[in-house]
Amino acid sequence: MIHVIKWAAGLTFLSTVAAAQDLPEVEVGVLSYGTAQWEMKVIQDHGLDEAHGVELVLRDLGSEQAGDVALQTGDVDIILTDFIWVSIQRNEGRGITLVPHSRAVGGLMVPPGSSIAGVDDLPGRTIGIAGGPVDKSWIILQAYYAQRHDDPLADAVEARFGAPPLVNELLASGELDASLNFWHWNARAKAAGMSEVISVADMLGALGISEQAPLLGWAFTDETAATKPEALRGFLDASFAAKRLLLEDDEVWEGLREVMRASGDDALFAQLRDDYRAGIIASFEPAIVEAAGQTFEIMAEFGGADLVGETPTMAEGTFWTDY
């Protein structure tokens, strides 16, 4: 029997009535502290996995490295990771591919009253960077600066690398002049009164990449794509259905306050919600793959082998175009 299910966002799904135990399982590894938990909760709370013919089974991961290992050993079917890592794996002969999940990226943040109005004001300043010397936002900022100046940005500033919460703390205390952090930490900084000078998306646009690349995607092995394609498509359908709810339905977000760590703070809650929405990919279009290839070239030029591996071009098949 086919049932029609209508959600508040005006979306319609067709689902076959079946007990959860009769549905194929899709094991998804997610960081216990990551923002992917938000989408997974929406899928489970609204039964979007069953509505699309699969049972979502979540496996907590202690770190990104643990996720990489779990995927390659077959302990999970899917993880959330970035397309550059997937390209490196393919270029090294490991069959991993992905479907876009999010465009969410950070930006250059400054404290209240800062005299930094643009990247031209950065020389001589101290910048805090989360993610290390090959952090992707840091690489893109360097590429953007190089478009405007002859001297490398890395030689013109003092770069200090640290964990995301420490970077925010040092920016707020005045020990940093500016910072580059992951998008959700930037959202927390904005809610605390910090300002964004320029986003990574705007930097990429100035570098000639009009379609923002999807930094993160749902990754899986070629073997999984070959042996359980329908279950994989069911999960991806559920994922995009959840994205549409998150994009269009404010009420859905109310059930996420606790997992967002924004209970009792309406300003933080709204900032996290709005910045998350800005990164949502509602559909998988060919232009996304082209933008990823262009972004990869910038990463290779300014980040080198330490970031993209020994092959300076994005591997064919990095994105799973069968979806």
Are the beta carbons of 202 and 193 closer than 8 angstroms?
no
For residue 27, give every residue at least 6 positions away whose Cβ sits within 8 Å of its Cβ, in sequence order, or none. Answer: 57, 58, 59, 75, 76, 77, 78
Domain architecture of the chain: domains with CATH: 2-104+214-308 (3.40.190.10), 107-206 (3.40.190.10)
pLDDT computed for residue 225 by the predictor? 97
pLDDT computed for residue 17 by the predictor? 40
3-state secondary structure of 27: strand
Q: Would you give per-residue pLDDT tens digits along the chain (323 residues)?
A: 323 333 333 333 333 344 445 899 999 999 988 999 999 999 999 999 999 999 999 999 999 999 999 999 999 999 999 999 999 999 999 999 999 999 988 999 999 999 999 999 999 999 999 989 999 999 999 999 999 999 999 999 999 999 999 999 999 999 999 999 999 999 999 999 999 999 999 999 999 998 888 999 999 999 999 999 999 999 999 999 999 999 999 999 999 999 999 999 999 999 999 999 999 998 898 899 999 999 999 999 999 999 999 999 999 999 998 98
Are the beta carbons of 100 and 228 closer than 8 angstroms?
no
pLDDT computed for residue 7 by the predictor? 34
Are the beta carbons of 275 and 183 closer than 8 angstroms?
yes
**Tally of residues, the chain:** 323
pLDDT computed for residue 21 by the predictor? 58
The pTM (predicted TM-score) of the whole model is 0.90
pLDDT computed for residue 16 by the predictor? 37
Task: Report DSSP letters for 96-147, one per residue.
Answer: EEEEEEE----EEEE-TT-S--SGGG-TT-EEEEES-TT-HHHHHHHHHHHT
Q: What is the DSSP letter of 289?
A: H
Per-state percent for the chain, helix, strand, coil, to nearest 5: 45, 20, 35
Gap between the Cα atoms of 83 and 323, Å rounded = 16
pLDDT computed for residue 285 by the predictor? 86
**Triad 13, 17, 22: Cα angle to 5°:** 120
Are the beta carbons of 220 and 96 closer than 8 angstroms?
yes
Q: What is the DSSP letter of 237?
A: H
Strand ranges for the chain from DSSP E? 2-6, 12-16, 25-31, 55-61, 78-82, 96-102, 107-110, 126-130, 158-162, 178-180, 195-199, 216-221
